[in-house]
């Protein structure tokens, strides 16, 4: 439709649009951003704004919609939320200076993973972009957050054509907002899993060339201004280089501004941290509650007492990446202990930290030339706190607390204080967000600006003086000096007195009740004022940019300080949580024991109402009690105790105090959970299939250093199949690699209690209840021994199931108990023989004794003529036995 003769503006629009096909182009026209053609149709529908057309009378009108530039952030946020990309195209020359059409350029592209604007970001969450690569032997991952400058990478060896599960899991764990993949992944069948797993995230495919390690290496060395990547430890990690290079290339292509705040890349090894896969993170409700999907009712909600945005983001990482290095864990624990020992300083520290804004994001925005005057003032206020803060912490011994662990310059605090002074001297305290309206720079900062300021101010007072003088000279009581955009300043006199004005008054306008005039003198002064005003606004902007550039040069120092503050804040928050919740410092042991005395579930203990939380003790080791089978009625607290152990171990390894009277924890490499709380119906998988996938993941990947939490296995299938699977998994984990895995296994299959006699390191426990008058009281304490009562009917009554059903269920149960369910001999669990992994699971338990039909069939099959007297006697005996069971 626009093939025909285009206006110059439309030609310019189309040429720019050509360069950003996959983004919605915000084309700046004066105080508006306009969108045209398909972009307009799409944006109008998402943003719910009016769709109009540019040339309404044309038979082929161009659809368009627009929005005020000052409100753009709001609209951009909405488009990004819907997975769109937005290319912002600005007028890059002043219309007054343009010869013909104003020059316009795209200044940045905003995508879900490329957001800098604070109002579009979640304060406590990193906005990660993840790139995934594949080289001949490895798969690589790079993760970047341009709003903070964080840039990390890892790689995993590949044994097949597909991306290893561990790397994919790592990608999911980072909860990226956008993922970059090479074009070749788009249709490769081997990449179907990764495409599906990441389908909920926006995937952007980039040219394969962008991922080529040689190309990527060059980009990275350019970015870091280094000759090689040796200093970052990734020189010989091509998969990391490939992914990281692609990420940087994308940042540069979209941001089109200085990206020097991304000054380093940090490689990490997945084995440096305890692995908690995405499912376990959800199952254990680390960051969100499983039902509500909100942080309330999750571990982070209890532990996060940070007061800065940086601390808020870091504590999430500490929870998602618990440590396995004992010394590092002990360092964190020691810092918390020191802080708890100095309650006065702890309080002051919290108060001081509250005044520190988001240094990471401020520093990054300023460095990328997008910080405004309010950002600069926030930075100044934050940096001004540092001297006081460092005076408070200097007596601490822990490097996490006293800052000696920081890799900044020796005089970092003093240098940053000077930076704060520079900002304070230059930027006005009442400066506004917009940069092109003046009122940014303080009096006394620039003599040239001061002169312009005095002209504009004096000019205004001159106007006031003139009014007074003219009134006196003319004696016209109605004379006023006014201003409008058409005439600038003018003199207004009422109609009645207008004939008496002096001759040098030049008539400009006649109104119903008044006449308007100007004078030569007045216009001369007005020109001076206006010119000065214009020059002043431009000069203020220029000075602001110079100061911002000076600050940007110290971005690295700001980011180093931000990282220190973030860790300090996390530690002070954990110390606060420890004091408020009566947590204990865990001991990190070397003797492969998990010994928790009087432990509690950190979240449940806060949520229960009308009941006191009953603490429980648990000991797991590799010799006596490696696997604990927990039986007990429904609702007794089995799941809670299981999760409580997992959370306590995790908290200890993230370096936090734990909800127990005492705890000694050995380092765990991975926590596996199979808890069945997740409903994956929406992802099209059957509940049982999910359960079995989780089980397969555990048995295939657990090591003797892992902790396995199994909250019922086999519920989603027939009782007999389920019990057999549960039995086999318990045995398998006990025997794994000849060493076994620490396992907590809650089950309603009482048959499994026999395992204690067969396997030396399996122990039975149950959660106590008291029974009276057909009712039960939950005692919540974990005690030795198994129980074969489920009290399901009593729990059903508690839940409000009608009495009729309860009574019927009771009689069914009585009948079933009269004819107990016994596994057929072929499926009776037996001690596992070497090499005999398969069991016959074809049989089903029958709930009741033999029916008349069964007996009839037996009798029909018998050929009495062929029977010996002994056969007949045996058969009779068999029949009798059948009816008696």
Question: CB of residue 74 vs ligand ATP: minimum separation in angstroms?
Answer: 41
Question: CB of residue 747 vs ligand ATP: minimum separation in angstroms?
Answer: 9
| Interactions with ligand ATP, residue window 591-630 (CB under 6 A) | 604, 608, 611, 613-614, 616
Residue placing its CB nearer to ligand ATP in the complex, 134 or 638: 638
Please check if 438 is assigned to a binding site: no
Task: Report how far residue 138's alpha carbon sits from residue 123's, in angstroms, rounded to the nearest whole number.
Answer: 34
Please check if 610 is assigned to a binding site: no
Question: CB of residue 844 vs ligand ATP: minimum separation in angstroms?
Answer: 23
* CB neighbour burial string for 284-323, b if at least 16 within 10 angstroms, e if fewer: bbbbbbeeeeebebbbbbbbbbbbbbbbbbbbbebbbbbb
Angle among Cα 871, 876, 879 to the nearest 5 degrees reads 125
Please check if 638 is assigned to a binding site: yes
Q: What mask of x and - would describe binding to ligand ATP in positions 315 to 354, judged by CB under 6 A?
A: ----------------------------------------
Task: Report how far residue 885's alpha carbon sits from residue 880's, in angstroms, rounded to the nearest whole number.
Answer: 9
Question: CB of residue 219 vs ligand ATP: minimum separation in angstroms?
Answer: 52
Return all residues near 9 (Cβ < 8 A) that are at least 6 apart: 101
Task: Report how far residue 38's alpha carbon sits from residue 41's, in angstroms, rounded to the nearest whole number.
Answer: 5
Residue placing its CB nearer to ligand ATP in the complex, 416 or 603: 603
Please check if 635 is assigned to a binding site: yes
Residue placing its CB nearer to ligand ATP in the complex, 382 or 616: 616
Angle among Cα 722, 724, 727 to the nearest 5 degrees reads 110
How far is the first Cα of the chain from the last one, in angstroms, to the nearest whole number? 86
Per CB under 6 A, 635 contacts ligand ATP: yes
DSSP 394-425: TT--SHHHHSTT--S-TTHHHHHHHHHHHHHH
Residue placing its CB nearer to ligand ATP in the complex, 589 or 634: 634
Per CB under 6 A, 639 contacts ligand ATP: yes
Return all residues near 232 (Cβ < 8 A) that are at least 6 apart: 224, 226, 264, 265, 266, 267
Question: CB of residue 633 vs ligand ATP: minimum separation in angstroms?
Answer: 7
Question: CB of residue 579 vs ligand ATP: minimum separation in angstroms?
Answer: 22
| Interactions with ligand ATP, residue window 137-196 (CB under 6 A) | none
Return all residues near 174 (Cβ < 8 A) that are at least 6 apart: 128, 130, 143
Number of H helices, E strands in the chain: 28, 26
Binding segment (CB under 6 A) for ligand ATP, from list 252-260, 402-410, 532-540, 633-641:
633-641
Residue placing its CB nearer to ligand ATP in the complex, 642 or 698: 642
Q: Which residue of 640, 648, 794, 841 would you call a contact of ligand ATP, by CB under 6 A?
A: 640
Tokens representing 102 are 């104003």
Binding segment (CB under 6 A) for ligand ATP, from list 476-484, 495-503, 572-580, 631-639:
631-639
Please check if 634 is assigned to a binding site: yes
Question: CB of residue 49 vs ligand ATP: minimum separation in angstroms?
Answer: 47
Per CB under 6 A, 634 contacts ligand ATP: yes
Question: CB of residue 615 vs ligand ATP: minimum separation in angstroms?
Answer: 7
Question: CB of residue 275 vs ligand ATP: minimum separation in angstroms?
Answer: 25
Residue placing its CB nearer to ligand ATP in the complex, 182 or 637: 637
Residue placing its CB nearer to ligand ATP in the complex, 262 or 709: 709
Q: How many residues bind ligand ATP (CB under 6 A)?
A: 15
Per CB under 6 A, 678 contacts ligand ATP: no
Per CB under 6 A, 780 contacts ligand ATP: yes
Q: Are 173 and 281 in contact (CB under 8 A)?
A: yes
Question: CB of residue 294 vs ligand ATP: minimum separation in angstroms?
Answer: 18
Q: Which residue is nearest to ligand ATP (CB)?
A: 637
Residue placing its CB nearer to ligand ATP in the complex, 129 or 604: 604
Please check if 825 is assigned to a binding site: no
For residue 515, list its beta bridge partners.
Answer: 493, 510
Q: Are 158 and 137 in contact (CB under 8 A)?
A: yes
Residue placing its CB nearer to ligand ATP in the complex, 562 or 636: 636
Residue placing its CB nearer to ligand ATP in the complex, 49 or 608: 608
Q: Three-state secondary structure along 752-807?
A: HHHHHHHCCCEEEEEEEEEEECCEEEEEEEEEECCCCCCCHHHHHHHCCCCHHHHH
Per CB under 6 A, 636 contacts ligand ATP: yes
What's 54's DSSP letter? S
Task: Report how far residue 531's alpha carbon sits from residue 535's, in angstroms, rounded to the nearest whole number.
Answer: 6
Residue 645: CB atoms within 10 A of its CB come to: 23
C-alpha distances in Å from residue 794, one per residue of 502, 689, 798: 104, 30, 6
Pairing of strands 24-29, 32-36: antiparallel
Task: Report how far residue 568's alpha carbon sits from residue 311's, in angstroms, rounded to the nearest whole number.
Answer: 8
Question: CB of residue 649 vs ligand ATP: minimum separation in angstroms?
Answer: 18
Q: Are 729 and 713 in contact (CB under 8 A)?
A: yes
Per CB under 6 A, 204 contacts ligand ATP: no
Residue placing its CB nearer to ligand ATP in the complex, 285 or 375: 285
Please check if 632 is assigned to a binding site: yes
Binding segment (CB under 6 A) for ligand ATP, from list 355-363, 505-513, 635-643, 734-742:
635-643
Q: Are 713 and 695 in contact (CB under 8 A)?
A: yes
Per CB under 6 A, 676 contacts ligand ATP: no
Longest distance between any two alpha carbons in the chain, whole Å: 149
Lay out the sheet containing 178-182: strands in order across: 202-206, 178-182, 129-134, 138-145, 150-157, 266-267
Question: CB of residue 691 vs ligand ATP: minimum separation in angstroms?
Answer: 14
Please check if 246 is assigned to a binding site: no
Residue placing its CB nearer to ligand ATP in the complex, 36 or 778: 778
Question: CB of residue 587 vs ligand ATP: minimum separation in angstroms?
Answer: 23
Sign of CA dihedral 46, 51, 53, 57: positive
Task: Report how far residue 12's alpha carbon sits from residue 633's, in angstroms, rounded to the nearest whole number.
Answer: 73
Q: Which residue of 212, 217, 279, 638 would you call a contact of ligand ATP, by CB under 6 A?
A: 638
Residue placing its CB nearer to ligand ATP in the complex, 497 or 634: 634
Report the binding-site residues for ATP: 632-639
Report the binding-site residues: 632-639
Footprint of ligand ATP (CB under 6 A): 604, 608, 611, 613-614, 616, 632, 634-640, 780
């Amino acid at each position: 439709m626009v093939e025909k003769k285009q206006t110059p503006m439309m030609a310019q629009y189309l040429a720019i649009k050509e360069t950003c096909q996959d983004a919605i182009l915000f084309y700046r026209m004066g105080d508006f951003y306009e969108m045209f053609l398909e972009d307009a149709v799409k944006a109008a529908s998402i943003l719910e704004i009016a769709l109009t057309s540019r040339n309404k009378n044309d038979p082929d009108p161009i659809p368009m919609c627009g929005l005020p530039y000052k409100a753009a952030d709001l609209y951009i946020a909405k488009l990004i939320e819907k997975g769109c990309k937005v290319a912002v195209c600005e007028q890059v020359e002043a219309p007054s200076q343009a010869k013909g059409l104003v020059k316009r350029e795209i200044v940045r592209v905003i995508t879900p993973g490329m957001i800098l604007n604070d109002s579009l970001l979640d304060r406590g969450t990193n906005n990660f972009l993840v790139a995934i690569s594949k080289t001949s032997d490895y798969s690589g991952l790079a993760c970047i957050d341009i709003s903070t400058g964080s840039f990390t990478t890892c790689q995993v060896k590949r044994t097949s054509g597909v991306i290893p599960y561990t790397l994919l899991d790592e990608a999911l764990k980072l909860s990226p907002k956008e993922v970059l993949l090479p074009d070749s992944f788009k249709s490769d069948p081997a990449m179907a899993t990764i495409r599906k797993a990441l389908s909920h995230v926006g995937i952007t495919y980039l040219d394969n060339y962008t991922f080529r390690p040689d190309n990527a290496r060059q980009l990275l060395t350019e970015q870091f201004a280094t000759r090689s990547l040796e200093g970052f430890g990734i020189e010989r990690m091509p998969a990391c280089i490939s992914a990281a290079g692609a990420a940087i290339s994308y940042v540069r292509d979209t941001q089109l501004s200085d990206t020097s705040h991304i000054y380093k890349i940090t490689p990490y090894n997945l084995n440096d941290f305890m692995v908690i896969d995405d499912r376990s993170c959800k199952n254990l409700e680390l960051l969100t509650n499983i039902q509500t999907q909100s942080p309330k009712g999750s571990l982070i909600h209890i532990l996060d007492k940070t007061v800065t945005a940086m601390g808020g983001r870091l504590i999430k990482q500490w929870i998602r990446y618990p440590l396995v290095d004992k010394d590092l864990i002990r360092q964190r624990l020691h810092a918390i202990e020191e802080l708890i020992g100095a309650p006065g300083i702890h309080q002051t520290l919290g108060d001081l930290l509250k005044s520190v804004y988001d240094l990471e994001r401020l520093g990054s925005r300023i460095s990328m030339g997008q910080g405004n005057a309010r950002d600069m003032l926030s930075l100044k206020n934050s940096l001004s706190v540092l001297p006081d803060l460092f005076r408070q912490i200097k007596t601490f011994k822990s490097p996490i607390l006293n800052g000696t662990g920081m890799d900044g310059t020796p005089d970092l605090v003093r240098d940053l204080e000077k930076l704060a002074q520079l900002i304070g001297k230059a930027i006005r305290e009442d400066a506004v967000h917009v940069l092109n309206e003046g009122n940014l720079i303080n009096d006394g900062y620039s003599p040239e600006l001061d002169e312009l300021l005095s002209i504009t101010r004096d000019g205004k007072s001159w106007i006031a003086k003139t009014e007074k003088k003219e009134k006196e000279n003319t004696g016209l009581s109605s004379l006023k000096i006014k201003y409008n955009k058409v005439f600038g300043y003018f003199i207004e006199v009422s109609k009645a007195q207008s004939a008496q004005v002096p001759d040098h008054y030049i008539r400009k306008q006649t109104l119903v009740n008044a006449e308007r005039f100007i004078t030569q003198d007045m216009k001369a002064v007005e020109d001076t004022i206006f010119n000065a005003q214009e020059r002043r606004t431009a000069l203020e902007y220029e000075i602001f940019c110079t100061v911002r550039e000076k600050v940007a040069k110290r971005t690295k120092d700001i980011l180093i300080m931000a990282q220190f503050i973030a860790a300090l804040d996390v530690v002070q928050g954990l110390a606060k949580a420890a004091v408020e919740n009566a947590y204990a410092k865990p001991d990190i042991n070397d003797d492969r024991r998990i010994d928790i005395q009087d432990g509690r579930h950190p979240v449940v203990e806060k949520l229960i109402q009308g009941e006191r939380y009953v603490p429980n003790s648990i000991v797991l080791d590799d010799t006596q009690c490696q696997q604990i089978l927990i039986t007990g009625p429904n609702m007794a607290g089995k799941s809670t105790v299981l999760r409580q152990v997992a959370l306590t171990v995790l908290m200890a390894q993230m370096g936090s105090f734990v909800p127990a009277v005492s705890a000694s924890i050995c380092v765990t490499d991975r926590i596996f959970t199979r808890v069945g709380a997740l409903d994956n119906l929406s992802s099209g998988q059957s509940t049982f299939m999910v359960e079995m996938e989780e089980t397969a993941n555990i048995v295939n990947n657990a090591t003797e250093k892992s902790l396995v939490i199994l909250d019922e296995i086999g519920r989603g299938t027939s009782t007999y199949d389920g019990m057999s699977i549960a039995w086999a998994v318990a045995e398998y984990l006990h025997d794994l690699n000849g060493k076994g895995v620490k396992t907590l296994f809650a089950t309603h299959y009482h048959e499994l209690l026999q395992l204690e006699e067969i396997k030396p390191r399996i122990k039975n426990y149950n959660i106590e209840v008291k029974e009276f008058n057909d009712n039960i009281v939950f005692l919540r304490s974990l005690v030795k021994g198994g129980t074969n009562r489920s009290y399901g009917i009593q729990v059903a009554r508690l839940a409000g199931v009608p009495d009729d059903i309860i009574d019927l269920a009771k009689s069914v149960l009585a009948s079933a108990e009269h004819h107990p369910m016994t596994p057929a001999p072929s499926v009776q669990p037996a001690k596992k023989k070497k090499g005999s992994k398969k069991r016959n699971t074809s049989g089903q338990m029958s709930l009741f004794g033999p029916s008349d039909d069964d007996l009839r069939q037996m009798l029909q099959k018998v050929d009495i003529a062929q029977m010996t007297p002994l056969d007949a006697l045996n058969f009779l005996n068999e029949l009798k036995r059948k009816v008696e069971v």
